[in-house]
Chain A
């Protein structure tokens, strides 16, 4: 079982959900993103999701778009992402990579799988890759023992849901709402329904992302899902602060609040 599977199993045994925190590689700088991710781990984030910045992130809302633009303007490369994965994985926390497909295709699917495995990454979350187009990735992830997290959505038919989770390994990513990333004031009504539909077709853990930004929301999602995925709200801590020390303090505070939330699932 992958390190992510172990984390989910342990959390399940403890009666809580796993907290997955997302940060774009190279935002605000390569070193800054490593510091941010380490601070998140120290404050109780269980799994780090490193997003490879991409020029055309159609699944992402304004916060991640801006962060990605800043990372790219700073010159971050795909190989920097691998170094970030390696440094953060050294903390012991499982590190999964989220990426749009073109950077991987450009790097070489097999080569990226090899280098990601060597860096200690657990696998990929692929927001714009559906299993039908994933032949090369299915083979490469098998060859290097990497997890595959495809997305399921409220609009997925039962047939697609079953087909998609059949190709997943590690965990399934359920998009809570029909929309892009970004914290929202209300949590989704569609997400619990989607999670229970996923549970009918797989024993894999289910993480819920899109729109979660507070401890209370994390607790609510933890009430029905195995994992709570938070991105934009954490990233915003780095935008809002006047300097790095303040930013990391805010990031740690929010991480701890979310970590507390996943430990107190709302029934």
Chain B
């Protein structure tokens, strides 16, 4: 594992983004967490234990797979970073194992988490079982309905799932509820946040735990192709999988970084979850970043076919990467994502998460331009951040292929 990157600064700022916008009651816990994070990253024993868990338990390094039939359709050499093959089916296991180790190091006995699609909730419940921690997962009621299978998985793993019935009843409200729980129980509880967002030190801490994705992909790509990729692509909701794969390439200026946001029904319709391309600067869930908000600063409900991307904010480091121009962020609509979902199923026999399908669709969209620019077939590493088993019901409904149900 590499050393943490230079940013954020000591107060958690990535340029004009990040920081801490939290009740004073949480500051002591955030300071404790920041100190534990720093100490852990400098501790060889911690790093070895984390690396061991990632390898033996989570099944990493995940493979970099050359998707030849998909490549032919994309007009690019597409290499899939198979995070979908990790234990629990997504990149998120890396973050939860790191934070569970930190939780134990801080002597806390209980973890709470928010979840959208349920992937982070399942990953948290998994780590909680492994580390013998009490676990409560907050999940918007709308999401508990569209991801019922994941609710059952969390319960099987011993977690308590609390459906959140206020506000828009999705991920942002689950986060509010988790924050409220944390304020009241901060002495014995760690808030195991699921993405590279929230108050400092969460964005930096989550990034440090998931950046192995990019470290692995960079080495694997060099080994497989003898060169760095021309582009690295990922979907962006809160943005942990994208940061995870971007980070190893940030200092390689020839590698283009693309983050694909959930464009929902189209950014111009207002029904989307594209915080960078369709939002504005604001403060949400403890950090300054791009936010979907109205003229009065009230958070606007986001929309995406993908529960995991259905969030009206984005991690502050993405806001900064956008500001500096180092990464490009583009919206992908529900329909474009579902077309890419179907294409990967049919060409490669891989059912991707709908979240990851946004990265696939975005890759299809930029491949042609990239080829024209380079005058040759580009090599693109796509973070296939999760598998689509959890999305079968949604996708089945979308394509109208569920027997006995209307689409």
Contacts and interface: CB of A to CB of B under 8 A. Distances in A.
Interface stretch (A9-17, A53-61, A218-226, A233-241): A53-61
Contacts of A66: 166
A55 B292 CA distance: 12
A77 B25 contact: no
A178 interface: yes
A185 to B, nearest CB: 16
B206 to A, nearest CB: 19
Interface string A137-158: 0000000000000111111110
B179 interface: yes
Nearest to A164: B24
A157 B28 contact: yes
B27 interface: yes
Contacts of B179: 58
A103 B24 contact: no
A34 to B, nearest CB: 19
A58 B184 CA distance: 11
Interface residues on B, range: 35 or more
Given A58-B179, A69-B166, A102-B293, A133 B298 contact: no
Contacts of A129: 21
A160 B24 contact: yes
A180 B298 contact: no
Contact of A106 (B25, B28, B29, B295): B295
Given A130-B24, A155-B28, A157-B28, A56 B285 contact: yes
A58 to B, nearest CB: 4
B22 interface: yes
A175 B167 contact: no
A114 B299 CA distance: 24
B52 interface: no
Contacts of A101: 21, 283
Contacts of B282: 102, 105-106
Contact of B184 (A104, A156, A178): A178
Given A56-B299, A106-B297, A155 B184 contact: no
Given A107-B297, A178-B184, A128 B19 contact: no
- Interface bin, chain A: 35 or more
A180 B299 contact: no
A49 B227 CA distance: 62
Contacts of A178: 25, 183-187
A128 B30 CA distance: 14
Given A127-B23, A133-B20, A154-B25, A78 B184 contact: no
A65 interface: yes
A213 to B, nearest CB: 17
Contacts of A107: 296-297
A179 interface: yes
B24 A56 contact: no
Contact of A103 (B184, B187, B286, B298): B298
Interface in A158-177: 160, 164, 175, 177
A68 to B, nearest CB: 10
Interface string B26-55: 111100000000000000000000000000
Nearest to A72: B298
A220 B407 CA distance: 61
A175 B25 contact: yes
B23 A102 contact: no
B149 interface: no
Contacts of A179: 180, 183-184
Given A102-B291, A130-B20, A153 B299 contact: no
Contact of B167 (A61, A69, A132): A69
A128 B173 CA distance: 17
Given A102-B282, A105-B282, A59 B23 contact: yes
B299 A55 contact: yes
Given A156-B28, A160-B24, A178-B183, A106 B296 contact: yes
A58 B296 contact: no
B11 interface: yes
Interface string B272-289: 000000000011111000
B25 A155 contact: yes
19 contacts: A55-B167, A56-B284, A58-B179, A58-B183, A77-B296, A103-B296, A105-B282, A128-B283, A130-B20, A132-B19, A132-B20, A133-B19, A155-B186, A156-B27, A160-B27, A175-B23, A178-B25, A178-B187, A180-B183
Q: Sorted from nearest, which 9 A-B pairs have the closest CB atoms?
A: A106-B297, A153-B25, A179-B184, A103-B297, A155-B28, A102-B297, A55-B299, A58-B179, A55-B298
